[in-house]
Structure 1
């Protein structure tokens, strides 16, 4: 049985960043998604998965894991997984990689759109 996930999709006009957020996600699932696009022709890994910590306000700490890929046209897609919420965000101008990522999610998960 496929896992249920909630997707918040903000498609914008051509040339702008495409943004998608997936809730109820674990890091291993995020890594599986990026493995699927790494195998596409012309895709380059710009940033392999790495940890980052941000402080949006005094006394607050947000821990994330990020990864970034580029397509053959030099456009990018960035993945950010938030440890505290189990949320995956991906955004960028690489429409082909964005579409491939959404296709992977549609094939492997039951999606509820928000």
Structure 2
């Protein structure tokens, strides 16, 4: 099965108040996780995203799509990056839990529809 694990937070305003040591630890954790997932062959794709302040959101307003600055102005957390993995659900949850235990940011685990 393929699962997408999405990490929220960890960019921009979500790092305010975090110590340089914490940020370094987060970077090291993510690099370690990326390397492990590549070594095991479980990773299908992985990308980090730019800071949400550089995002554009297209909304349907007044009968037409309208691009606006910023991602999701009504929420505090935005998508920071993702992995697509070929693993069991148990393994996907184990991976997400490992990151959440450090960051305390939510991660969403979703099975990818196939066929």
TM-score of the superposition, structure 1-length normalised?
0.37
TM-score of the superposition, structure 2-length normalised?
0.36
- Structure in which a larger fraction of residues adopt helix: 2
- Structure in which a larger fraction of residues adopt strand: 1
Of the two, which has the highest radius of gyration?
2
Structure ranking higher on relative contact order (CA contacts 8 Å, 6+ apart): 2
